[in-house]
Amino acid sequence: MSETQEAVRLREQGTDEARLRLIELAERHPGNAVIAYQTAWAHDSLGFEAEAAPYYERALATEGLSTQDRHGVFVGLGSTYRVLGRYEESLKTLRRGLDEFPDDAALRTFLAMALYNVGEAREAAGTLLKVLAATSTDTGVQRYRRAVEYYADHLDDVE
């Protein structure tokens, strides 16, 4: 098992040892996007969001991520920026992610949270309603799916 694989295994267990190993790996391999992403994730999952952000940024700026990992970086960085109160950066990152993954429910959900944080409650609620309509398996939601999708864009309409 490689050093990176071992560190990822430890990250999946939620250990601080993983974070420390990944920091060392990131210092030794600053151009490795996968290590940068794993280092960000290790920090993020342990509540060190401010320390995670630069690693997420490095991962996005460097080639070599799989499509799945690139998606994870957009979600992680967008969410991290939001938690840190960096709302405009969060919106920019999540929208950039949606440019690449236009129908992704996770990105749209975190976008709704960031929209709420900047006072865009109507757009936030509409975004969540669209995600709900598209992803819910609840029979009641599915029965009224067309109405939910319509009203997601017409929340303020009255007759």
Please spell the DSSP secondary structure of 50-76, one letter per residue.
HHHHHHHHHHHHSS---HHHHHHHHHH
Residue 123 CB-density burial (10 A; 0-12 exposed, 13-18 middle, 19+ buried):
middle
Tokens matching residue 122? 């109507």
**How far is the C-alpha of 122 from the C-alpha of 137, rounded, in Å?**
24
Mean pLDDT by 10 residues, the chain (159 residues): 79 84 93 95 93 97 95 98 98 98 97 98 97 96 95 90
pLDDT at 119: 97
pLDDT at 92: 98
Q: What is the pTM of this model?
A: 0.91
pLDDT at 2: 86
**How far is the C-alpha of 144 from the C-alpha of 107, rounded, in Å?**
24
**How far is the C-alpha of 82 from the C-alpha of 124, rounded, in Å?**
14
